[in-house]
Structure 1
Amino acid sequence: MGEQEKKQTVKSTADWVRDRLLTESTGHDWYHIERVTEMAKAIAAEEGADLFVVEMAALLHDLADDKLVASEEEGIQEINNWLVDRSVEKADSAHIIEIIETISFSKGKPLRTLEAKVVQDADRLDAIGAIGIARTFQYAGAKGHVLYDPKANVRTEMTKAEYRSGQGSAIHHFYEKLLLLKDRMNTHTGKKLAESRHAFMEQFLKRFYAEWDGNG
């Protein structure tokens, strides 16, 4: 596949994903995909990753997410069919699918390639900082989770099913996932970018507790 064909494939894929996720309401909408893709491209340029594989995986990464689709397996099959129909080379297609299947926080699978590490870092960066805070409350509202329950315990070492089905508060999500991400970045670039976003979340939580206690 030549460079011009790759550009056309990226564009048609972006259009397809935009149509699928534009009105998604849990924080995994098209604008999340767009931010992750742009971040992934920037990290890929710094780290020397394959830009086509990174961009395609970033665009498609949520179409097999069990938060959004009834069956992860059906989602993967649909993505694979899309790649085959666009004559993406088998090696690239397999690589893109592998990235999508392994980058989820809840799966905790080891990442084999630089491209997977780049896409995971970009996705995780969109889960922290100001955008991450906003998305946390958007998701909690969509799922009917409470804002904060000071009597509830932070859940640790959860299975994927426990992580997905739990009814923890929005604030608990910071401790169960978001505050852990800074130290789980893969690339040098991702680690640098995570520092300020992590610090912003810590500042937010400090202010949140002050106002919760009537001291803000």
Structure 2
Amino acid sequence: MTLEIIGAVVALTVFRLAWTLKRPVHKDITFYILPGLSNLSKILRYDPDFSYVPYGLIWYAINVPIVRTVRYNGRFWITVLALIDIVFLYYANEFLGFTVFLAYVMIGTFQLLRAPWNASINWLIILAPISWIFLLLAPIAKFPVGLPVQVWRYTERAVGHQHNYIYFGLLGTLWLIVFNHLYFLPGLESLVVIGLGIVWCCIFGYAYLERRVKRQKSTAKPPE
């Protein structure tokens, strides 16, 4: 890793930590993620009155020790995720190349700041150079594999909730980029990443305009 990359990773981590410490903790973390991580036994035996976090047992195995270490503090949990991610940024640059590293910086940062519960899914994808099995484990961890079958209905609901399609889509995009780099058309990697980047610029633009229109409608006064 060159000094330039090291400096970039340090600067990125400082930015991530500053954002995490300054911004309010996402309400989904407070009301869904942390209660889910602190009630694994209830999740495994299925309680219909409990609000489930529809992720797989692999996801819980990764995140439960982390939240226990920080005593179920959402802000500290995100902070630890950001620090752990330094290792994966290094790994991405060393074993997946600069183009994938750059894509991971963009996708990983957005996910960490907006949907930190997906950080560990990113890690599994980035570990794919070790074995293709990690590309299989990533979706297994993302979906409630190993949980009661009734939990799958929460996944169906989650995909269409607000802008969750963006979070799912970014995970799929990172998966495709890494898969392409390792097994498909690595020679066209730059074109693939640029093309996907353009697509995501359009998606984010649409999401921004959609949100702006909804805000204008909600603040508009009804006619007298």
Query: Same-fold call, TM > 0.5?
Result: no
